[in-house]
């Protein structure tokens, strides 16, 4: 990784600055949700200061003293400082930083910041233009506000696990931490929406994103089954609402592919590729509704065809016919994906604390501005002295005293 220019929003190509250039963000995020929101802000041009307790946030620590890979990939382009918010002097330092900041983001449990004496009301009193963004599991209000939440528990509580897996097997969680990242993306959108409002009104505000609130729309397909049949069953790799057939994962001679037929045009093209145009006139498969009622027969026909061919061959044949299809790839294949690397979505780096890894860039592309050049996630407290000196004008003797007292 080559260090970026001094300004986080500079455009190396000489075009327009990134949209959030000049914005100052204090990121108290932990684990996945808060940190990814902070990184999205940083990669959109903001100056993001990651604030941790002196021992570091839980996701930072890897094996044998290394930095964990999740921390390394979710905290690029930030400066890192430590402040002990349990100490009065630490809270004073934090308030001094808040007075110069535009945004504070945090994903502690509801009420934690209030308990520390630096809750949103205190911070907005110190800086009325501040956007205070809180991400929680169940919201800062409501009967479930005090429940602890992690990705898997929200998947369970939201109904996601009840519709994930196969009908004759227990419920399972999704293979990825999608709840955390849905929360992060919604938190980012709430922040930039509040900033837009601030441009019109001059006033900051508190924004609140609860992970549980972000999940219900993802049940859209399953809700169609619920309102039709009174129950939303687990459907394996099939469509959650039974609305599209074929829609499944099929075996090949060397792996698996995922296939979906959305339109009747796709269906007719599939019949041709299978070398069985007569299927289009087969009474069992004449419409999507009939295919739904005869899905076992149809899946067996398709599976027999795919099983005789390699994964890449099936993808090529169906793809050439403009049928939605993809290989079921493993993580190693994704890490080395040529398209993602060529587009700059993934960047291979030799991280000073995590080793050689592939890290994500932002999915947000702003035409006219170059993507921010990735900087490695920082060591614990790496920028404490620099930030407190530049932001608050503290000299070396004051910084030494703060360190000696365990404040930073």
Q: Which helix (H) or strand (E) holds 118?
A: none
CB atoms inside a 10 Å sphere around CB 4: 15
Provide the token pair at 114.
């209030």
- Long-range pairs for 273-276 at CB < 8 Å and ≥24 separation? 273/317, 273/318, 273/321, 273/323, 274/301, 274/302, 274/305, 275/305, 276/301
DSSP secondary-structure letter at 202?
Answer: S
Helix (H, G, I), strand (E, B) or coil at 133: strand
Q: Which two tokens stand for residue 198?
A: 């601030």
Q: Is-contact 118 111, C-beta < 8 A? A: no
The reply to whether 239 belongs to the active site is: yes
- Among residues 157, 186, 239, 351, the one annotated as catalytic is 239
DSSP secondary structure string, 328-383? Answer: ---HHHHHT-HHHHHTTSEEEEEETTTEEEEEE--S---TTSPPPPP-PPPPTTTT
Helix (H) and strand (E) counts for the chain?
A: 17, 11
In sequence order, the β-bridge partners of residue 134 are: 106, 208
How is residue 338 written in tokens?
Answer: 């040529």
The catalytic residue positions are 239
């Amino acid at each position: 990784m080559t260090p970026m220019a001094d300004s986080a929003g500079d455009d190396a190509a000489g075009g327009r600055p990134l949209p959030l250039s000049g914005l100052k963000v204090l990121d108290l995020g932990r684990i996945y949700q808060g940190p990814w929101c902070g990184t999205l802000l940083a990669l959109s041009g903001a100056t993001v200061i990651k604030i941790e307790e002196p021992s570091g946030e839980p996701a930072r620590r890897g094996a044998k003293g290394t930095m964990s890979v999740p921390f390394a990939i979710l905290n690029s382009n930030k400066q890192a400082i430590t402040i002990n918010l349990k100490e009065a002097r630490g809270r004073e330092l934090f308030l001094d930083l808040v007075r110069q900041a535009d945004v504070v983001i945090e994903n502690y449990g509801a009420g934690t910041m209030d308990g520390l004496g630096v809750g949103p009301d205190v911070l907005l009193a110190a800086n009325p233009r501040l956007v205070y963004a809180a991400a929680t599991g169940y919201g800062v209000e409501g009967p479930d506000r005090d429940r602890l939440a992690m990705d898997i528990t929200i998947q369970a509580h939201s109904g996601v696990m009840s519709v994930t897996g196969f009908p004759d097997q227990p419920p399972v969680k999704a293979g990825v931490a999608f709840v955390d990242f849905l929360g992060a993306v919604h938190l980012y959108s709430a922040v930039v929406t509040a900033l837009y409002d601030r441009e019109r009104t001059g006033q900051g505000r508190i924004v609140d994103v609860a992970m549980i609130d972000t999940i219900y729309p993802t049940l859209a397909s399953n809700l169609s089954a619920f309102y039709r049949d009174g129950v939303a069953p687990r459907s394996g790799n099939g469509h959650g609402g039974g609305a599209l057939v074929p829609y499944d994962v099929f075996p090949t001679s060397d792996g698996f592919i995922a296939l979906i037929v959305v339109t009747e045009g796709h269906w007719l093209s599939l019949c041709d590729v299978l070398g069985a145009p007569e299927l289009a006139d087969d009474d069992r498969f004449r419409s999507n509704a009939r295919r739904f009622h005869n899905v076992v027969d149809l899946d067996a026909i398709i599976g027999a065809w795919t099983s005789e061919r390699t994964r890449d061959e099936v993808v090529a044949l169906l793809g050439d016919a403009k049928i939605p299809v993809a290989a079921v790839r493993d993580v190693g294949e994704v890490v080395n994906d040529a398209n993602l690397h060529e587009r700059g979505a993934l960047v291979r780096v030799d991280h000073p604390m995590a080793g050689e890894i592939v890290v994500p860039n932002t999915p947000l592309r702003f035409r006219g501005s170059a993507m921010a050049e990735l900087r490695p996630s920082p060591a614990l407290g790496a920028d404490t002295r620099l930030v407190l000196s530049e932001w608050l004008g503290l000299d070396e003797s004051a910084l030494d005293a703060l360190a000696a007292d365990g404040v930073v």
